[in-house]
């Protein structure tokens, strides 16, 4: 059972990591808002049968907590990919590695105790993010970095709200409803920003849109929820680092991103610090933080 859970977590990290290079490809032909809209419309169509097949699942559309979860999820993607339009794939991917540190800080603010090892990881990841933000590569702007970091805080809010979502015996229920609500949230925002999206995209771009919708949105979210519910939080949290590693590797290999000394050092601090945060759970005493690491696309 655990082996299958680890496979699911690895697939989730892989799919989310591929969201950065495919996103950069799509941005060559359309705006960030339209890209996110098309991505979520594809995911919503595939998710609809799971969300509508049972009365108990349809009832989730009347839950304020579930609705808020969907709204935050959609807005977070919009902000993140608006940021990606102004930064390199590598920078956007590596900044995601700061998520475990944000979770640890939020846990402390909410009154939970954090282990010394986790605080050491927080400090390292924060330093890494500051290093990247202070000395971005030539393809990244301050605005893009600010949007990318801002998206992490929205994803953090999504995680905190997600913890209050009603439990369901249907593994796909919350995922499917969240994605449909997110799509409904993105739709008017994208229309106000840029009008109706153009559907005259190239075949490779449409393949990338479909991959984002099915793999990097619906299946990645479902795989993460399946795996994270069956293994310890520390074990699950390690897999979040697959995302920035995949994204950064694709940025260097496929998009010609330059690995500057600041970027390489900052990325190593973020990933190393994040691993320290999630592995620090193993040393936690009763009542101390059992950190849950949330995925980001």
List pLDDT tens digits, range 197-238: 989 999 999 999 999 999 999 998 888 777 776 765 545 555
The reply to whether 288 falls in a domain is no
> How does DSSP classify residue 87?
S
Residue 45, domain member (yes or no): yes
Pair 128, 268: CB distance under 8 Å:
yes
pTM over 0.85: no
Averaged in consecutive runs of 10 residues, what is the pLDDT profile of the chain (297 residues)? Answer: 76 82 88 93 95 90 93 93 80 71 67 71 73 61 84 85 78 90 96 91 94 92 78 58 68 69 77 70 46 45
Count of CB atoms situated within 10 Å of the CB of 110: 9
Q: Cα separation of 293 and 277, whole Å?
A: 9
Distance between CA 217 and CA 98 in Å, rounded? 20
In a domain, 290, yes or no: no
- 195: in domain: yes
As a whole number of angstroms, the distance between CA 105 and CA 114 comes to 8
Give the pLDDT confidence score for residue 98 in this predicted structure.
Answer: 72
Domain extent at residue 47 = 2-283
In a domain, 183, yes or no: yes
Q: How far is CA 286 from the centre of its chain?
A: 29
Q: Is residue 58 part of a domain?
A: yes
**Does residue 121 form part of some domain?**
yes
Look at the block and give the residue holding tokens 């994270």.
228
Residues 158, 76 contacting (CB under 8 angstroms): yes
The pLDDT, as a whole number, for residue 190 is: 94
- Is residue 186 situated within a structural domain? yes
Number of residues assigned to the chain? 297
User: Cβ contacts of residue 160 below 8 Å, gap of 6+?
Assistant: 106
Q: Say how many domains are in the chain.
A: 1
């Amino acid at each position: 059972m655990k082996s299958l859970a680890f496979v699911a977590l690895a697939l989730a990290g892989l799919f989310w990591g591929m969201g950065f290079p495919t996103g950069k490809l799509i941005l060559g032909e359309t705006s960030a808002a339209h890209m996110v809209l098309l991505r979520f419309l594809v995911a919503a169509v595939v998710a609809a049968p799971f969300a509508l097949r049972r009365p108990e699942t349809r009832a989730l559309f009347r839950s304020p907590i579930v609705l808020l979860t969907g709204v935050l999820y959609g807005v977070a993607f919009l902000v993140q990919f608006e940021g990606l339009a102004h930064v390199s794939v590598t920078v956007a991917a590596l900044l995601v590695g700061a998520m475990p540190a944000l979770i640890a800080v939020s846990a402390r603010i909410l009154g939970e105790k954090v282990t010394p090892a986790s605080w050491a990881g927080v400090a390292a990841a924060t330093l890494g993010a500051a290093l990247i933000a202070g000395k971005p590569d030539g393809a990244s702007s301050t605005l893009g970095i600010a949007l990318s970091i801002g998206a992490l805080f929205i994803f953090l809010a999504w995680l905190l709200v997600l913890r209050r979502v009603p439990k369901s015996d249907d593994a796909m229920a919350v995922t499917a409803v969240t994605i449909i609500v997110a799509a409904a949230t993105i739709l008017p925002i994208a229309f106000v920003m840029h009008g109706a999206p153009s559907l005259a995209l190239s075949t490779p771009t449409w393949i990338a849109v479909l991959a984002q919708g099915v793999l990097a949105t619906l299946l990645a979210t479902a795989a993460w929820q399946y795996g994270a519910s069956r293994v310890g939080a520390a074990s699950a949290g390690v897999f979040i680092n697959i995302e920035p590693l995949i994204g950064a590797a694709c940025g260097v290999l496929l998009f010609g991103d330059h690995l500057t000394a600041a970027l390489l050092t900052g990325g190593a601090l973020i990933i190393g610090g994040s691993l320290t945060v999630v592995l620090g759970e193993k040393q936690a005493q009763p009542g101390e933080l059992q950190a849950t690491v949330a995925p980001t696309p």
